[in-house]
Chains A and B, each alone.
Chain A
Amino acid sequence: MASLDTKPQSTVDPEEVARFAAMADEWWDPRGKMRPLHKFNPVRLAYIRDHACGLFQRDPKSLDCMKGIRILDVGCGGGILSEPLARLGADVVGIDPAPENAATARVHAEKNGLNIDYRAATAEKLADDGEQFDIVLAMEVLEHVSDVGLFVRRCAEMVKPSGFMIAATLNRTVKSFALAIVGAEYVLRWLPVGTHDWRKFVTPDELEIAMKAAGLEVTDETGVIYNPLNDEWRKSDDMDVNYMLLAQKRFVVA
């Protein structure tokens, strides 16, 4: 059995890992504790799919539009993002430092007849092994890592020259404190108190600098906002709270 990676060079914060492992069994109840993530899923999946189909020239209407595209889902949790991508045909590797999460995800995928390579591992481990992917996803994980610069650099190493990386995270603004911490955790109780540490939130500028330093170029960015009228998340120009960035490998002229 894989053990937690607690080497000093690691970007994993052990306290964060323990917190999500406690929630592992509840991943797949759409009305349960993970409801906010299930609600958030369509907007981020559409973003990933549409950019992948654009870049790899696929028809986004086809139910196997991601066929053969190799994807790394960093911080896969119970597999809420990995499974739909696999169902669209992608070859997904899902990694999570918490063995309980990887195990939960594996059991669930097998029950649903989906072939997903779940590993209890860190991004650093896979980068060390020299793994390569068409798409590296860091969705809702940056706000939980201890060293964003190092994390992004290790992820970037795994992006194939023709591929890209997408990161979704929370901005560090007064508004995000009000909405993501006070609103989501204390008022609406969407998330357990303590899920997020506002000080760890990353601004788009900081992330872009980290991406550049890692040899990636940000080619698309979008805010994501919640619409209480129809209870749905959608893309927006407002990047003050939730946002997503897409970065492609920079073409290096020798």
Chain B
Amino acid sequence: MAQKPSQNFQQNSDVTIAGAGVAGLALAAALGHALKPNFRVTVCDAALSREPAADDRVSAIATGARRLLETLGVWQRLKGPVQPIREMVITDSRLDDVVRPVFLAFEKNEDPNEPIAHMVENRDLLVALRTSAQESGVVFEASAIEGFESGIESVEVLLANDTALNSRLLVAADGGRSKLRAQAGIKTVSWDYKQSGIVATIGHARDHEGRAEEHFLPAGPFAILPLAGKRSSIVWTESIEEAARLVALPPADFHTELERRFGLKLGEIEVLSKPKAFPLGFTIARKFAGDRLALIGDAAHVIHPIAGQGLNLGIRDVAALAECIADTARLGLDPGAPEALSRYERWRRFDTLGMSFATDGLNRLFSNNSGALKVLRDVGMGLVDRMPPLKEFFVKEAAGLTGEVPKLLRGEAL
């Protein structure tokens, strides 16, 4: 902002972001694009000293998140393959049922020509986000944040490399075990599902034609997400013990277990990556903001990856916070003052709680073998399918389009 340096309050960054993951970088790029050249944004993360690691992780980018990425020019920059999900099939079935009934098929977006989501490799996303952020004038500090002290008018941020940054606002985008959140004394609420998600990449003989499937098996959801080429990514829910046993099986035995669930609709299957099991939990911060501090992404919430909503929720945080900061700065006001932060918090908490409880509820409802519950969910899903407004609501919610939607999620520039 148009401030002249003074000895008392010399600010060398308007907004400082801890963490160069998807949420942190997307916020930096959004602010850089909207407010350049008179607004200083710094991203701090030791990981910025090297290229993003090549791992197998992929994410399902929902429509809202994609629009934000397109608006920031990130989407156009993705180097690797992008697989659209054109259709989504959800079924509830016992393992030994001969026919799997289809209760809900999310094949339509609000625009029928738009895919429901796109599968993108995380690494490609990070590379594109870094470029976009830097192009918009964002400063990278390849160093972790050691600590911070919030004052009435600014926050003093100390980096591991001894740099001190005086900022209006500090943003914690430092992940599920956020150091900044802990330092601010913001407590979390957690649920433990006593379940793990087994993640693996599967090759198959036939084309998936862009179809995602989610089967609610007795042990929990089993999701198949289409990847570019004749490949799919699976998220397979089991109890923690069973998941540990399964991933330790000899490949031939694992293959057999997988085939019982994956089926042979897509022809012969092949396990392309070493299966890994991740314990499933749900953590939400009691507050999304503190004194001159805002939490985004996994620092604010880690949800069950049942519908690939973790990254999308993080992007929705980004869109809301970026709009709060831009609106405030454009009035000449202080983006780290309580007013701006409470707007962000109000905006995001309802959505996050709604989504968390929705996925939590879905998982609990479906991870149960009781006959009564099965009847209930059959009836429930059937009802949803027969009532277009409700179905539309679920489709939109899955696409991240309900509530007062931040501009970036609607594909509008800030």
Spell out A's residues near B (CB within 8 Å): 28-31, 38-39, 41-42, 45-46, 49, 60-61, 63-66, 83-89, 110-115, 230-232
Chain A residues within an 8 Å CB radius of B256: none
Given contacts A28-B153, A63-B38, A111-B6, 8 further A-B contacts (CB under 8 A): A30-B339, A45-B331, A45-B332, A46-B331, A83-B332, A88-B2, A113-B9, A114-B4
Whether a CB of chain A sits under 8 angstroms from the CB of B152 is yes
- Is B339 a contact partner of A38 (Cβ separation < 8 A)? yes
Among the listed A39, A46, A60, A114, which residue makes an inter-chain contact with B339, where contact means beta carbons less than 8 Å apart? Answer: A39
Among the listed A38, A61, A88, A111, which residue makes an inter-chain contact with B332, where contact means beta carbons less than 8 Å apart? Answer: A88
Summarize B's interface: helix, strand, loop or mixed.
loop
Chain B residues within an 8 Å CB radius of A42: 327-328, 331, 333, 339
- Is B333 a contact partner of A45 (Cβ separation < 8 A)? yes
User: How many residues of chain B have a CB within 8 Å of chain A?
Assistant: 29
Q: Which 9 A-B pairs have the closest CB atoms?
A: A84-B332, A87-B332, A113-B6, A113-B4, A63-B38, A88-B332, A45-B331, A113-B3, A111-B8
Q: For the complex, give the distance between the alpha carbons of A85 and B1 in Å.
A: 12
Whether a CB of chain A sits under 8 angstroms from the CB of B346 is yes
Spell out B's residues near A (CB within 8 Å): 1-6, 8-10, 34-35, 38-39, 152-153, 327-333, 337-339, 342-343, 346, 414
Q: For the complex, give the distance between the alpha carbons of A111 and B7 in Å.
A: 8
The number of residue pairs between A and B whose CB atoms lie closer than 8 Å in the complex comes to 76
Residue of B nearest to A86 (CB): B332
- Is B39 a contact partner of A63 (Cβ separation < 8 A)? yes
Q: For the complex, give the distance between the alpha carbons of A49 and B328 in Å.
A: 12
Q: For the complex, give the distance between the alpha carbons of A85 and B34 in Å.
A: 19
Chain B residues within an 8 Å CB radius of A88: 2, 330-332
Q: For the complex, give the distance between the alpha carbons of A131 and B3 in Å.
A: 26
Residue of B nearest to A112 (CB): B9
Known: A45-B332, A46-B331, A86-B332. A29 touches B152 (CB 8 A): yes
Q: For the complex, give the distance between the alpha carbons of A60 and B327 in Å.
A: 10
Chain A residues within an 8 Å CB radius of B332: 45, 66, 83-88
Q: For the complex, give the distance between the alpha carbons of A49 and B338 in Å.
A: 22
The distance from the CB of B411 to the nearest CB of chain A, in whole angstroms, is 17
Chain A residues within an 8 Å CB radius of B328: 42
Known: A63-B39, A112-B3, A113-B6. A30 touches B338 (CB 8 A): yes
The distance from the CB of A138 to the nearest CB of chain B, in whole angstroms, is 19
Chain A residues within an 8 Å CB radius of B9: 111-113
- Is A63 a contact partner of B333 (Cβ separation < 8 A)? no
Q: For the complex, give the distance between the alpha carbons of A83 and B39 in Å.
A: 17
Chain A residues within an 8 Å CB radius of B343: 230, 232
Known: A38-B339, A41-B333, A60-B330. A87 touches B3 (CB 8 A): yes
Residue of B nearest to A81 (CB): B332
A sample of 15 cross-chain residue pairs with beta-carbon separation below 8 angstroms, ordered by A number, consists of A30-B338, A30-B339, A41-B333, A42-B333, A60-B330, A63-B2, A63-B38, A64-B38, A66-B332, A87-B2, A89-B2, A111-B8, A112-B6, A113-B6, A113-B9
Residue of A nearest to B337 (CB): A30
Q: For the complex, give the distance between the alpha carbons of A21 and B2 in Å.
A: 29
Chain B residues within an 8 Å CB radius of A65: 330
The distance from the CB of A25 to the nearest CB of chain B, in whole angstroms, is 13
The distance from the CB of B213 to the nearest CB of chain A, in whole angstroms, is 40
Known: A30-B339, A38-B339. A64 touches B333 (CB 8 A): no
Residue of A nearest to B3 (CB): A113
Chain B residues within an 8 Å CB radius of A49: 330-331
Q: For the complex, give the distance between the alpha carbons of A45 and B414 in Å.
A: 18
Q: For the complex, give the distance between the alpha carbons of A29 and B337 in Å.
A: 10
Chain B residues within an 8 Å CB radius of A113: 3-6, 9-10
Q: For the complex, give the distance between the alpha carbons of A86 and B329 in Å.
A: 12
Residue of B nearest to A89 (CB): B2
Chain B residues within an 8 Å CB radius of A39: 339
Chain A residues within an 8 Å CB radius of B35: 63
Q: For the complex, give the distance between the alpha carbons of A93 and B333 in Å.
A: 18
Residue of A nearest to B333 (CB): A84
Residue of B nearest to A41 (CB): B333
Q: For the complex, give the distance between the alpha carbons of A110 and B4 in Å.
A: 10
Chain B residues within an 8 Å CB radius of A29: 152
Chain A residues within an 8 Å CB radius of B329: 63
Q: For the complex, give the distance between the alpha carbons of A230 and B324 in Å.
A: 14
- Is A87 a contact partner of B339 (Cβ separation < 8 A)? no
- Is A112 a contact partner of B153 (Cβ separation < 8 A)? yes
Chain B residues within an 8 Å CB radius of A64: 2, 38
Residue of B nearest to A83 (CB): B332
The distance from the CB of B414 to the nearest CB of chain A, in whole angstroms, is 8
The distance from the CB of B272 to the nearest CB of chain A, in whole angstroms, is 47
Centre residue among B2, B38, B338 by max chain A CB count within 10 A: B2
Residue of B nearest to A64 (CB): B2
Q: For the complex, give the distance between the alpha carbons of A85 and B2 in Å.
A: 11
The distance from the CB of A68 to the nearest CB of chain B, in whole angstroms, is 12
Among the listed A61, A84, A86, A110, which residue makes an inter-chain contact with B6, where contact means beta carbons less than 8 Å apart? Answer: A110
The distance from the CB of B194 to the nearest CB of chain A, in whole angstroms, is 38
Q: For the complex, give the distance between the alpha carbons of A61 and B332 in Å.
A: 11
Q: For the complex, give the distance between the alpha carbons of A25 and B3 in Å.
A: 23
The distance from the CB of A178 to the nearest CB of chain B, in whole angstroms, is 26
Known: A39-B339, A42-B339, A112-B9. A87 touches B1 (CB 8 A): yes
